Amino acid sequence: MKLHDDARRTFASDNYAGAHPEVLAALADANGGHEISYGEDAYTHALRERLRRELGDRVEVYPVFTGTGANVVALSALIPRWGAVIASAGAHINTDEAGAPERVAGIKLLPVATPDGKLTPELVATEAWGWGDEHRPQPAAVSITQSTELGTLYTPDEVRAVTAFAHEHGMPVHMDGARLWNAAAALGVPFRDFTSDAGVDVVSFGGTKNGLLGAEAIVVVDPDRAPGIGFIRKLSMQTASKMRFLSAQLLALFEHDLGMRAAAHANAMARRLREALDGAPGIRFTQPTQANALFAVLPPGVADSVRERYRFYDWDPAAGEVRWMCSFDTREDDVDAFAAAVRAALEEA
């Protein structure tokens, strides 16, 4: 029984898109017969071997259900009970996870304001102090996001600068990679160039935003950095019994270059939308369009007018700033029709 319109497209979130057909085919292939549960299956083993080729020989992989789960479990394993995590003020762990790091894991976050969503050594240093002071949360790890919540990208050198500073001060580095595929496709470099080779210790390796059906993974580059993570995953209710179905989806992204194809397409659609609206009277883009997200300030009433046909979210309502997202299944004619609707609303305003 179908309850929705297949033809409908929005620019609200890449989470609105369905599962990629090639991912559904991989799920069908993984079905049937019996496989050992809780991660001893052939698919989870193959995923670990694949990610070791991608990121390093010591990598351990822990599939989970959600990005929030990946972040909370990863950070819990990285820091002691009294530790705090330095992150951008706009980081997902700080703004969009309903207090899960604090409520579920008891993690104090030390947010740092950033103009573009990216941390630098200088910005990290504003909260990297007070070790030994029992009255202050102890900075114990740094979390960065790639691509960021503002759609911007860290270059490998920028990641390396942050990890070098963090490691000099005894802090491991976590990367929230909910849109890691979009970052890799945009940068045109292998994952390891801006993760393991750049000094990142644990990666929340995204999949759902790139065509998977509720499948993410925690990738631990150095297992010594995250002792007990398997136990933490279980007590955090993120251990799948039929884990083969999570792992099979994640594996599918590496088959026939699916993950890069899907992410590159989403990025290309975002560039197409940016080009269609750049220079339109009354619109001002607030961030460079480097992956699959666009941020723009619109005149009063324009967003609501366009939302009569297309769903998308306000980012900063006080400033009139909105966010538009493109997905693996966004089509060129979707972009062109949306851009025309925005231009028409601007002209009416």
252 plus 262 within the same structural domain: no
Q: Cα(267)–Cα(289) distance, rounded to whole angstroms?
A: 9
Choosing from 256, 271, 299, the residue where a domain stops is 256
129 plus 241 within the same structural domain: yes
Choosing from 256, 277, 308, the residue where a domain stops is 256
- In the chain, % of residues over pLDDT 90: 98
Q: Where residue 30 sits, what CATH number does that domain have?
A: 3.40.640.10
| Chain segment 219-258, per-residue pLDDT in tens | 999 999 999 999 999 999 999 999 999 999 999 999 999 9
91 plus 234 within the same structural domain: yes
pLDDT at 301: 96
273 plus 304 within the same structural domain: yes
Q: How confident is the model at residue 119 (pLDDT cuts 50, 70, 90)?
A: very high
pLDDT at 289: 98
| Chain segment 308-317, per-residue pLDDT in tens | 999 999 999 9
pLDDT at 349: 87
**HSE-up of residue 123 (Cα within 13 Å, Cβ side):** 22
Identify whether 335 is part of a domain.
yes
Q: What is the DSSP pairing of strand 216-220 with strand 173-177?
A: unpaired
pLDDT at 7: 87
Choosing from 213, 238, 256, the residue where a domain stops is 256
Identify whether 14 is part of a domain.
no
Identify whether 126 is part of a domain.
yes
3-state secondary structure of 327: coil
51 plus 161 within the same structural domain: yes
Residue 173 bridge partners (DSSP):
142
CB-based burial label for 310 (10 Å; 0-12, 13-18, 19+): middle
295 plus 310 within the same structural domain: yes
| Chain segment 164-207, per-residue pLDDT in tens | 999 999 999 999 999 999 999 999 999 999 999 999 999 999 99
263: alpha, beta or left? (left if phi > 0; alpha if psi -120 to 50) = alpha
Mean pLDDT of 142-169: 98
Identify whether 12 is part of a domain.
no
Identify whether 303 is part of a domain.
yes
| Chain segment 99-118, per-residue pLDDT in tens | 999 999 999 999 999 999 99
Q: How confident is the model at residue 66 (pLDDT cuts 50, 70, 90)?
A: very high
249 plus 152 within the same structural domain: yes
Rg (CA), the chain: 20
251 plus 263 within the same structural domain: no
Identify whether 120 is part of a domain.
yes
**Which tokens hold the place of 53?**
């080729």
Listed in sequence order, the residues at least 6 apart from 228 whose beta carbon sits closer than 8 Å to its beta carbon are 77
Identify whether 235 is part of a domain.
yes
pLDDT at 288: 98
Listed in sequence order, the residues at least 6 apart from 197 whose beta carbon sits closer than 8 Å to its beta carbon are 156
182 plus 284 within the same structural domain: no
How many domains does one find in the chain?
2
| Chain segment 277-292, per-residue pLDDT in tens | 999 999 999 999 999 9
Q: Where residue 280 sits, what CATH number does that domain have?
A: 3.90.1150.10
179 plus 113 within the same structural domain: yes
Q: Cα(10)–Cα(186) distance, rounded to whole angstroms?
A: 22
Mean pLDDT of 8-24: 96
pLDDT over threshold 90, residue 14: yes
| Residues of the domain holding 312 | 258-348
User: 142: how many CB neighbours lie within 10 A of its CB?
Assistant: 29
193 plus 86 within the same structural domain: yes
Mean pLDDT of 60-87: 98
65 plus 113 within the same structural domain: yes
Nearest 5°: the CA angle 49, 29, 178 is 55
Identify whether 1 is part of a domain.
no
Q: What is the DSSP pairing of strand 202-205 with strand 173-177?
A: parallel
pLDDT over threshold 90, residue 295: yes
Residue 217 bridge partners (DSSP):
63, 205
Closest CA to 120 of 152, 73, 92: 152
